[in-house]
Structure 1
Amino acid sequence: MIFILPLLAVLLGYLIAKFLKPSSSTSFKLLLSFSGAYLLSVTVFELLPEVYENKGKEIGVFILLGLLFQIILEFISKGLEHGHMHHDPNSKQFPIMLLFSLGIHSLLEGFPLSESSHLLYGVAIHKIPVAAILSIFLFNSKLGKFKAALFLLLFALMTPIGSFLKIQFDFIQNYGAYINAVVIGVFLHISTTILFEASKDHKFNASKLCVIILGILLAYFM
């Protein structure tokens, strides 16, 4: 399941982009908010207590390093991880730096998935809107169908590859708590950015608040 579900999430995001054209729809933005709330809640309820259980104060350093690392990655990806796409669709050049940023992010996501089914669901839910936004960009770009398909395939494979590496290599497992701490920092940055970005005209959004509460409750009681 840890290998299949992230792939299915990317496929679902692609299908949503192809058939529903969701980039500006309210329901799509609510899905993004729900995914951010669920991912943040699972991180706080499960990952954070686990990494601090048998480690000292230095684990916080790795959490902050993960947060800073995600900021650097988003400088390259221009915020696609939390629902934004600002790359030039008219370029015919393969966006290798975008793939690098999303690939490293997705690889890191895969490391702790074997330890928590709740986190697996959270990452999968988060991948759906990201894959949809990425697909819309690729549809509108001038890369060509083959390059666009190759980009999506590589993006889809990175999270399962991360899970595979964690399971297969002992040295990764030996430093699992520190790697998970870095991933926590990544998740904290992404999820809080999704949740606390200002709404249009800074208006109160009751629907967004409701889906955020739903995401938190679902993560707590599952």
Structure 2
Amino acid sequence: MLAIILPIIAVLIGLTFAVIFKPAVNNGIKLLLSFSGAFLLSVVIFEFLPEVYSSNNSNIGIFIMLGLLIQIILEFGSKGAEHGHVHHKDEGTFPILLFISLCLHSLIEGFPLAENQDLLYGVIVHKIPIAVILSAFLLNSKMSTIQTSIFLIIFACMTPLGAFLKTQSSLLETYSSEVNALVVGVLLHVSTTILFESSKNHQFNATKLGVILIGIIIAYFL
């Protein structure tokens, strides 16, 4: 049940924050994004990756790399919105590629959440700043209110849909270890990209380093 409710709440929190504070991508959001990237990466490495490899499936590494490749392909459409970048030049039209890419990403990341509560928390923490940035972008665009609402409602429901499908599909359950490895690859790409891009011009930033360390420590003791 938490895997169904919490991802939707995370998007609603991001939307509410964007409506009330109308944030640009300021330092506060960037720090939250850095924390979420460190937290998500740490949960994947400390909890999810050992679980995936415990299946003794010899193809796990292949599916992790496949997940990385899938995320790279998705970012041709999303332009990196999964890790805090939203670029859409034609503001008058519905950003269909961004929409499809983000929905597919959210669907995939939702698959293991019903069976892994620690990963659920990692995805939720990651989703909040992304939802803030995405909501702010949509609200500032020339899209209609109806288009914006459709985008956010479907985006909010895709991760719970992934969790639901995993519990209901015998095919996904049969190939659970491969599916989970695929998700590992997707999340590794997103979380590491957030951390690599967290410092402007790769300059040392003590505040961001502190936030990243906090994210890692909290994930370790989770």
* Alpha-carbon displacement from aligned partner over 1:111-133 (angstroms, at most 9, x marks no partner): 11012211111111111111111
1:54 is aligned to 55
Distance in structure 2 (CA, Å) of the matches to 1:47 and 1:198:
23
Q: Which runs of 5+ in 1 are unaligned?
A: none
- Per-residue CA deviations over 1:12-70 (Å, capped at 9, x if unaligned) read 11111111233332111111001101110111111111111122332101000000110
Q: Report how far residue 193 of structure 1 moved.
A: 0.4
For residues 106 and 25 of structure 2, the distance between their equivalents in structure 1, rounded to whole angstroms, comes to 24
**Counterpart in 2 of 1:75?**
76
Aligned to 2:26: 25
Ranges in structure 2 where 5+ consecutive residues have no aligned partner: none
Partner of 1:101: 101
Q: Is the 8 A contact 2:38 2:215 kept in 1?
A: yes
Partners of 2:59 and 2:178 within 8 A in 1: no
**Corresponding residue number in structure 1 for 2:205:** 205
Show the counterpart of 2:173. 173
* Segment drifting more, 149-158 vs 46-55: 46-55
Q: For 1:110-129, what aligned pairs fall within 5 Å after superposition?
A: 110-129=110-129
Corresponding residue for residue 184 of structure 1: 184
The one-letter code sitting in structure 2 at the alignment partner of 1:147 is: Q
AA in 1 matched with 2:36: S
CA change 1:49–1:128 in 2 (3 A) is same
**Partners of 1:163 and 1:6 in 2: CA distance:** 10
Give the SS at the match of 2:3.
coil
The one-letter code of the counterpart of 2:191 is S
Partners of 2:57 and 2:115 in 1: how far apart? 21
Amino acid at match of 1:134: L
Gap change, CA 1:201 and 1:171, over 3 Å in 2: closer
Identical aligned pairs, as a percentage? 58
The SS at the match of 1:2 is helix
Please, what is the CA RMSD of the aligned residues? 1.2
The 1-side partners of 2:39 and 2:202 are apart by 23
Deviation at 1:198, TM superposition (A): 5.8
Aligned residues: 221
AA of the residue aligned to 1:168: Q
Letter in 2 for 1:125: V
User: Separation in 2 of the partners of 1:215 and 1:199?
Assistant: 16
Task: Give the aligned partner of residue 4 of structure 1.
Answer: 5
Q: TM-score by structure 1 length? A: 0.96
Taking structure 1 as reference, are residues 153 and 50 closer, same or farther at Cα in structure 2, changes over 3 Å only? same
Q: What TM-score, normalized by structure 2, do the two folds share?
A: 0.96
Aligned partner letter, 1:84: H
Q: Write the distance in 2 (CA, Å) between the matches of 1:104 and 1:156.
A: 12
Amino acid at match of 1:49: P
**Matching residue of 1:217:** 217
- The superposition leaves residues 175-218 of structure 1 with CA deviations (integer Å, 9 ceiling, x where unpaired) of 11101101000000000000012622432111111111111111
